[in-house]
Structure 1
Amino acid sequence: MPKILVVDDEVDLETLIKQKFRQKIREQKYEFFFAVNGKDALEKIEQHPEVDIVLSDINMPEMDGLTLLSRLNETSPLIKSVIVSAYGDMENIRSAMNLGAFDFITKPINFEDLSVTIEKTIRHVTQLRETINAIKENNILKMYVDETVLNFMASREFESSLIANEIIEGTVVFIDICSFTAISETEPANTVVALLNEYFDVMVKEIITQGGYVDKFIGDAIMAVFRGDYHLDRAIDACLAVRATINGLPALPEGRPFVPKVAIGINSGEMISGNIGSSSLRRLDYTVIGNSVNTAQRLQSIAEPNQIIISEKAYGCVKESFNCKKVGEVAMKNISGVMMVYEVLD
């Protein structure tokens, strides 16, 4: 609902506005606020920053309309102003326009003209806000996605890929930050988020370096996927690098007993890759699912701080490339029987 601030020292104008626009107010198509001068108007805007339009007189005590216009340009450039004044000479009109007024209406007010002007101004403000939001979204997208991907997203090939599901061979990695929940219960929210993002940034860099991609962030854990040649080897190299880098980070200062450590589970095999979620909610994740993925998560759940746990099958594939040791047989949730697991040392 558009919010309109009327600024005029004539108190009768408030009553007149409410009478002339009573249907719009009753139908909640407009919401009006009122101020008696420019100073009062700035205070009202501070209380209601969502104001879209200011209808302002020029000649007022304490702060006149032209001064208010200049202040609005500095503090609230998205708010559009319409001057409503008895001083309709060209000098005042030009002064108002030079200070950024969107339009100018003379008194006595023609309310039909005022209504048309308000509608026109609302359309302009709406288009302006939509444009700015689109620019923000585009800039945010560019921060995380390179130009090649953006061009692909605009293609028909991308539209087709959204509905393409396939069985792939790959490696899934789950990396959990140990005991981070305790920090989230004792530290301010801004501290927790900043710290978690710092740790995630370290992990993501190592994952990308080895040609993997982050499938999703799950609380204080990361799920990553590696495909292509030597996907298991590259996944282990990435996890070794993550562990080493995390171990090199300092403990929290001021006596807070938290030293960052990670617990990691890795598993390879076939998995289903597809666009999964709810089309009704327009929330779809291009992700992988299947027993191989579930097993990787279970392996992470039994890993101790600083441990990288793999299955016996994975060990058989990488034992000549990595130094590993047998952990033993373990029972894992929702997996029948026991599984022999190994720890990757280096």
Structure 2
Amino acid sequence: MFARINATAEAQGGILKKITYHLAGSDMMIYFGVPHYYQDNALRAAIALLNIRTLIQNTPTPILTDTALFLSCQIGIAQGPVFAAEIGELRGRREFNVLGDAVNTAARLMGRANPNQILVTQSVYEAIADRFPAIPLGSCTLKGKSQPLPVFDLCPVPAGIATGGDDRGKIGVS
């Protein structure tokens, strides 16, 4: 599953950076725009994450000791300035990392999302509104934010709907 998620993200220029495992599931960070910036990073992220949601929803339900496991995803998308650099010891362990308010906001939105819901910030919605429908959910208070933040629910798009002039802009997992 993780290899398919990674391939879906990479197809849009995203990088699967972190996977954190928990008893109740896994958290992932996929970033766009670093190290290669594109004008349409918000669109690329939306396409990739809609495809990842479809991938997860279309995965056959796994059975563990006669119990069906519920698979779902909760996704948050935010954009903004970040600190992106290689961090660590000069001659020791180093890793490329992305830090900042946009990363934290996306994580907070992910935590608020319902199963199979994609929550986006207003700036992301404005960047993709001409291609994807979204439902305004009003404003919500997020940890670390002094003001409530307008949030939108990115609506499902039927597979095969063209969203651009090339294959990069087509929704649907093959």
Q: TM tier, shorter chain? A: 0.7 to 0.9
Alpha-carbon distance in structure 2 between the residues aligned to 1:280 and 1:234? 34
Aligned to 1:222: 28
Say yes or no: does 1:257 pair with 2:68.
yes
Q: Which amino acid aligns with 2:124?
A: A
Aligned to 1:304: 114
* Structure 1: 5+ residue stretches without partners: 1-198
Shift of 1:256: 1.3
Q: Which amino acid aligns with 2:4?
A: V
The counterpart of 2:99, out of the listed 277, 284, 289, is 289
Q: Is the 8 A contact 1:202 1:246 kept in 2?
A: no
Aligned 1:47-196 pairs, distance under 5 A: none
Alpha-carbon distance in structure 1 between the residues aligned to 2:137 and 2:42? 19
Q: TM-score, normalised by structure 2?
A: 0.79
Say yes or no: does 1:240 pair with 2:50.
yes
Residues 73-107 of structure 1: CA deviation (Å, up to 9, x unaligned) = xxxxxxxxxxxxxxxxxxxxxxxxxxxxxxxxxxx
Residues 221-265 of structure 1: CA deviation (Å, up to 9, x unaligned) = 211111122111011100010010111111122531312110001
Kindly report the root-mean-square deviation, in angstroms, between the aligned alpha carbons of the 2 structures.
Answer: 1.6
Aligned 1:273-288 pairs, distance under 5 A: 273-277=84-88, 279=89, 282-288=92-98
Q: Is the 8 A contact 1:328 1:340 kept in 2?
A: yes
* Structure 2: 5+ residue stretches without partners: 158-174
Shift of 1:280: 7.6
**Which is greater in Rg?**
1
SS at match of 1:270: coil
SS at match of 1:249: coil
Alpha-carbon distance in structure 2 between the residues aligned to 1:325 and 1:338? 17
Q: Identify the structure with the greater helix proportion.
A: 1
Aligned to 2:78: 267
Alpha-carbon distance in structure 2 between the residues aligned to 1:327 and 1:258? 29
Alpha-carbon distance in structure 1 between the residues aligned to 2:51 and 2:98? 24
Shift of 1:281: 8.6
Alpha-carbon distance in structure 2 between the residues aligned to 1:306 and 1:202? 17
Q: Which amino acid aligns with 1:201?
A: A
Alpha-carbon distance in structure 1 between the residues aligned to 2:95 and 2:130? 36
The counterpart of 1:209, out of the listed 1, 11, 27, is 11
SS at match of 1:304: coil
How many residue pairs get aligned? The number is 147
Aligned to 2:133: 323
Alpha-carbon distance in structure 1 between the residues aligned to 2:68 and 2:7? 26
Residues 168-210 of structure 1: CA deviation (Å, up to 9, x unaligned) = xxxxxxxxxxxxxxxxxxxxxxxxxxxxxxx312211110111
Q: Which amino acid aligns with 1:296?
A: A
Q: Tell me: CA distance 1:282–1:252, structure 2 relative to 1, closer, same or farther (3 Å).
A: same
Shift of 1:320: 0.9
Q: Which amino acid aligns with 1:202?
A: R
Q: TM-score, normalised by structure 1?
A: 0.41
Aligned to 1:333: 143
Alpha-carbon distance in structure 2 between the residues aligned to 1:255 and 1:281? 50
SS at match of 2:66: coil
